[in-house]
Structure 1
Amino acid sequence: MLMVTKKPNLFFIVIILNIFVLSVSQDITCNDNANFTLNGTYQSNLDNALSSLTSDTSISYGFYSQSVGQAPDQANVIGLCRGDVEPADCRRCINEASARIRDTCPNQKGAIGWVGNCMLRYSNVTILGTDPDTRVARISSNPNNASNVDQFNQGLNRLLNQLRNDASSGGSLRKYAANSTDGPGFTTIYGYMQCTPDLSEIQCYNCLDSAVRFIPEGRRGASIYYPSCIFRYEDYRFLNATVDLAPPSPPPTQSSPPPPPPLSPSGSSSNTAVIVVIVVVASLSLVIFVVIFVCVFMRRKGKQEARPQENLVYEGGDTNEISTAESLQYSFGIIKAATNDFSENNKLGQGGFGLVYKGKLQDGQEIAVKRLSRDSGQGEQEFKNEVLLLARLQHRNLVRLLGFSLEGSERLLMYEFVQNASLDKFIFDPTKRVVLDWERRYKILGGVAKGLLYLHEDSRLKIIHRDLKASNILLDSQMIPKIADFGMARLFTPEETQANTSRIVGTYGYMAPEYAMHGQFSVKSDVFSFGVLVLEIVTGQKNHTFQNGVVIEDLLSHAWKSWRDGTASSLIDPVLRDGSNSLRDMIRCIHIGLLCVQEDLNERPTMASVVLMLGSLSLTLPVPSEPAFFVHTNTNTNPEKPLFEEYTSSTSHPNQLKSKSRSSQRSVASDISRNDLHSR
């Protein structure tokens, strides 16, 4: 176990600092709601404001502002540098930010960018003297967890409270505070907070208070950037040496005894006494140091073994900046009013972690609001996970996040309203299923496949959904499918192909065997879930309650036997057989579904291959091998209940959920204890 020493290697620190600087060098957001005419009045005013912003070289406090022109073509610009940046470096940073933002946002009237150690913002509406804008946030975090989360949080909270008070009480020229405090063991936590100096004391305090709510739990470092306030903390020194980093006042301690009277020199006997005292004190100090070292080491080791963690979107990673989000934050009151105080009449249903309500904003836009229940099992980490992911994803087949609210114990997610609810409400309903003819079902399959392909390969990120199922596929007014519920999604780095976890999340019947048994997941885990979904859409029956005459068995088992025996057409939903000339396409989809649910993940196709298979009916498909079968021995277990549990293979219990594979090449049997894998 590595311990943090008092004198870490200087070369190691330099490498860490360089990596961080490279990873957070810039982030630019354009306001696409208002554009200007090229070579028009607003562009001329904006260019003049930007070019003259840093012309006053007498400014030494790192804040610049400029307004040129008259409304509605007035250009308002502000620039803010971190409090430890020298004036000349500040001006260079702001000028560089100006060039990069204008290049990224060529004709938008509003934009904001964080480049290096400075922020630049411009708009056609007044910036100075208005309420702080906390809707657009840039969030980054150190991927490593603190060695002792409890002690780390205690020190961090103490530091943040002081920084928030000191920064908000700053003057009209600069609202900036930097400091450090002791962390667990021999670590030190460094941090700073800063507001634009036009804010009042209470505005600055509230802005910083809102920002700290997004600190990832237990991380050794994080940065939260709002247009009007910023804060960052790390467990290494990252500010310039010119900044005063005097530690915050420690909590009151017991009064120490008065110092002993000074030793008067009295010849060799006095010198001998001094030497004896020094040797004794040094020896005692060494013993105390060793005891503290051992205690800290054992406590940290015990906590890590007793409390395995998985941080979902933040878990793992090789870069300091794991996630960045641009999101809209609404007050709880606005969303409460939009849903008529979460009235029963507005209730749409219940999702994995809480109730879902229909609402309407003041501008008439219809919304769907997920109100997370306090006992839902989804904590603040999963809430942040969904916000940070969906805010960065844009695709026709993914549900769109419109906003969120995080006030007190209330956590709300606001989505676009999707008129036709979820796929399971149609496909498994004896009456509504007739609405979904084969053409619509085929388009739904294609849309879901494209959405997954976007998550796996085509977006800026690489994301494993981990809970793909019929109830998480929403249908809009044109029956276009949209993948929803990203609370359990996992972010991969481009180099990652597979990860392990001790906490199984997902839904019975849709989980790949390697994930359910060993906690191993990858893009092929989603492929398996998609294969189950394909078979459900074609047959119109749930995987875990497939009815073959009077016998109820799992869908994968029956589909494989029917395909092997050449009777795959018997699987097809009866409402699709009558008058349909697409029997060949339906059987082909069964074939694709069986390829996706093969036991060996290496034999499953990628979503890119699945999209190609669905789009090209002339493409020859490989022969599938036997799938993995899930047999639920406990009939009281709800197969649709999502899992969110700790998994330990070393325990056993007489009532077990058995996961079996009947492969012709091998036979694998694994027992999973109900104590370790049970529904929430």
Structure 2
Amino acid sequence: MAKKISCVIVFFSIYMTVISKSVNVDKLWRSNCPNNTMFANSSQYEANLNTLFGYLSGNATNLAGFYEAVSNNGNTSSETIYGNFLCQGDLDPRLCYDCVIAATTKDFPMTRCPNRKVAILWYEGCMVRYSNQSFFGKLDEMPADQMLSGDDVQGNITHYTELVNNMMSVIANRAPFDGSQKKFATYITNFTAFGTLYGLGQCTPDLSPNDCKSCLENGASKLSTLVQGARYFQPSCFVRYELYPFFSLSSQPPAPSRESPASDSSGMEAKE
């Protein structure tokens, strides 16, 4: 028995390593950086921004996967910048670091948002944001963006939509009260007509539980259910679902005690 358990553990470790390596956490999905807020080269704002990037990258391996920083280089009246990063709640700190480093050394300053005072980038593994106005602890649902993945859904669209909506409702109620204080939740639903659906929702930890729930519910209401996967980005939270595992299965909460799984006549089974 002990040998069998050891084999299972080894297999699971190898499986999770492969999954981790196959995910490009520093792949940029969406960005928003309005051009109505610009700074000049070699300006105080640029100096403060570089300092901010140093604060964020220097804290990118913390276990919380979240960090806020303020940069003004000692002058509170001169071009203060507010910034943060948020890594996916189950992401290994080393991968979180890779994602934040990509944003603060490659995409932000040189290519995606040159000379912008306000910017936000959403990656596969993290979100990085900065502004000349404080946004800490505030619910921001705009700017927002959506990304679709997979083929169109074939079959009973109505039931598929209900399935996704129910899954996202569970996530929106669970994430604000996540025991790890990350405001992060995942959910898995089996449905024989479509396979297994994997869902995730996460807020920045500085939101109140009510604001987090509101943000997730807003994102869920915008998700398209005509395709096999979708994600909706907001500055304060994001939601996503796919027909493949895109998060660590160990992030699932333990299943409650019950004699048999709840299922409907269509073959749906909810795993909690």
TM class, shorter-chain normalised?
0.7 to 0.9
Q: Does 1:45 align with 2:48?
A: yes
- Using the size of structure 1 for normalisation, the TM-score is 0.33
* Alignment correspondent of 1:56: 59
Structure with the bigger RCO (C-alpha within 8 Å, sep 6+) is 2
Closer/same/farther in 2, CA of residues 249 and 76 from structure 1, 3 Å limit: farther
**Structure 2 Cα separation of the partners of residues 116 and 109 of structure 1:** 23
- Which residue matches 1:182? 190
Is 1:80 matched up with 2:79? no
Please state how far the C-alpha of 1:218 moved relative to its aligned partner. 3.3
> Distance between the aligned counterparts of 1:171 and 1:196, measured in 2?
14
Determine the structure 1 residue equivalent to 2:13.
Answer: none
Q: CA deviation at 1:162?
A: 1.0
Q: Residues 505-541 of structure 1: CA distance to partner in whole angstroms, max 9, x if unpaired?
A: xxxxxxxxxxxxxxxxxxxxxxxxxxxxxxxxxxxxx
Following TM superposition, the consecutive aligned residue runs of length 4 or more in structure 1 with deviations greater than 4 angstroms are 245-250
1:90 and 2:96 correspond = yes
Q: Structure 1 residues 179 and 245, CA, compared in 2 at 3 Å: closer, same or farther?
A: farther
Q: What is the number of residues matched between the two proteins?
A: 239
Cα drift, residue 242 of structure 1:
3.8
**C-alpha distance 57-37 of structure 1, shift in aligned 2 (>3 A):** closer
Give runs of aligned pairs for residues 204-603 of structure 1, distance below 5 A.
204-244=212-252
| Distance of 1:92 and 1:76 partners within structure 2 | 21
Give me the TM-score of the superposition, normalised by structure 2: 0.77
Give CA deviations for 1:48-97 in whole Å, capped at 9, x if unaligned: 01012132366202101111112451111100111111011101111101
Deviation at 1:26, TM superposition (A): 2.8
Q: 1:138 and 2:145 equivalent?
A: yes
Of structures 1 and 2, the larger Rg is shown by 1
**Given the alignment of the two structures, is residue 128 of structure 1 paired with residue 128 of structure 2, yes or no?**
no
Q: Deviations over 1:227-274 (max 9, x none)?
A: 110010012212134422656899x999xxxxxxxxxxxxxxxxxxxx
Q: Distance in 1 between matches of 2:113 and 2:229?
A: 30
Structure-1 residue corresponding to 2:38: 35
1:110 aligns with 2:118: yes
Q: Is the 8 A contact 1:187 1:235 kept in 2?
A: yes
Matched residues in 1 for 2:90 and 2:79: separation? 34
- Conservation of the 8 A alpha-carbon contact between 1:180 and 1:247: no
Which digits, 9 at most, give the CA deviation of each residue in 1:3-58, with x for residues without a partner? Answer: xxxxxxxxxxx9xx97x969x74322212121112211111111001012132366
SS at match of 2:140: coil
Give, as a single letter, the amino acid of the residue that structure 1 aligns with 2:100. Answer: I
Cα distance in 2 for partners of 1:249, 1:233 equals 26
As a proportion of its length, which structure holds more strand?
A: 2
SS at match of 1:32: coil
Residue 114 of structure 1: SS of its match in structure 2? strand
Secondary structure of the 1:50 match is: helix
For the residue of structure 2 that corresponds to 1:85, the secondary structure is coil
Q: 1:554-601 CA distances to partner (integer Å, 9 max, x unpaired)?
A: xxxxxxxxxxxxxxxxxxxxxxxxxxxxxxxxxxxxxxxxxxxxxxxx
Correspondence for 2:107 among 100, 105, 108? 100
CA distance in 2, matches of 1:146, 1:247: 30
How far apart in 2 are the matches of 1:138 and 1:79?
A: 18
CA RMSD of aligned residues (A): 3.1
Q: Name the CA distance, whole Å, in 2 between partners of 1:172 and 1:108.
A: 34
Matched residues in 2 for 1:122 and 1:248: separation? 41
Distance of 1:172 and 1:76 partners within structure 2? 25
Q: How far, CA to CA, are the matches of 1:36 and 1:171 in structure 2?
A: 41
Q: Deviations over 1:300-330 (max 9, x none)?
A: xxxxxxxxxxxxxxxxxxxxxxxxxxxxxxx
Q: Is the 8 A contact 1:179 1:248 kept in 2?
A: no
CA deviation profile, 1:341-380 (whole Å, cap 9, x unmatched): xxxxxxxxxxxxxxxxxxxxxxxxxxxxxxxxxxxxxxxx
**What is the CA–CA distance in structure 1 between the aligned matches of 2:179 and 2:252, rounded to whole Å?**
17
Q: Which residue of 2 is the match for residue 147 of structure 1? A: 155
Summarize deviations over 1:604-650 as a string: whole Å, max 9, x none. xxxxxxxxxxxxxxxxxxxxxxxxxxxxxxxxxxxxxxxxxxxxxxx
Measured at CA, do residues 247 and 187 of structure 1 come closer, stay the same or move farther in structure 2, by a change above 3 Å? farther
Contact 2:61 / 2:94 at 8 angstroms: preserved in 1? no
Distance 1:41 1:253 in 2: 60
